[in-house]
Amino acid sequence: QVQLVESGGGLAQAGGSLRLSCAASGSIFGINDMAWHRQVPGKQRELVATRTAAGITNYADFVEGRFTISKDHAKNTVYLQMNSLKPEDTGVYYCYAKRDVLQWGKTVTHDYWGQGTQVTVSS
C-alpha cells in the first residue's frame, strides 16, 4: 500500500553531486523510518543512510560526511544529497520505508522498496 518512486540518478564525475529523490504515495501514515540503500557491483546491497520520523539520521561509514538524507513532509519525499562523489559510489540506489500498522491489536512492520535509480560516477 506504499509506493516508492526514486528519481535523480544519473551520471556524475568524481567530486560532483547528485540529488536523489524518493516520492512516497499510498498509505503513508505510519511510516517511521526511511532509508537509502545501494547495490554496488560486486557487493551486497548495503545501507547508505537512515532517517527516523523524528528526524534522526545515521549514515554508513563510507559516507564520510558526503551525503545528507532529508525529508520534505509536505511532498512526502525523502532525498539523498550526495556530494563529493567517488567512482565507488556507482550503483543502484534504492529507497526504503518502514511502516508500522496495527493489526489485530498488534503492531506489524511492513517494508517497502523502490525500484531503484542508477548512479554512475566516472573518474
What's the pLDDT tens digit per position in 3-57?
999 999 999 999 999 999 999 999 887 888 999 999 999 999 999 999 998 899 9
| CA 75/CA 63 separation, integer angstroms | 26
Each residue's pLDDT tens digit, 17-30: 999 999 999 988 78
Residue 11's contacts (CB-CB under 8 Å, 6 or more residues apart) are 120, 121, 122
Tell how strand 31-39 and strand 57-59 pair up.
unpaired
Tell me what the mean pLDDT of segment 93-109 comes to. Answer: 92
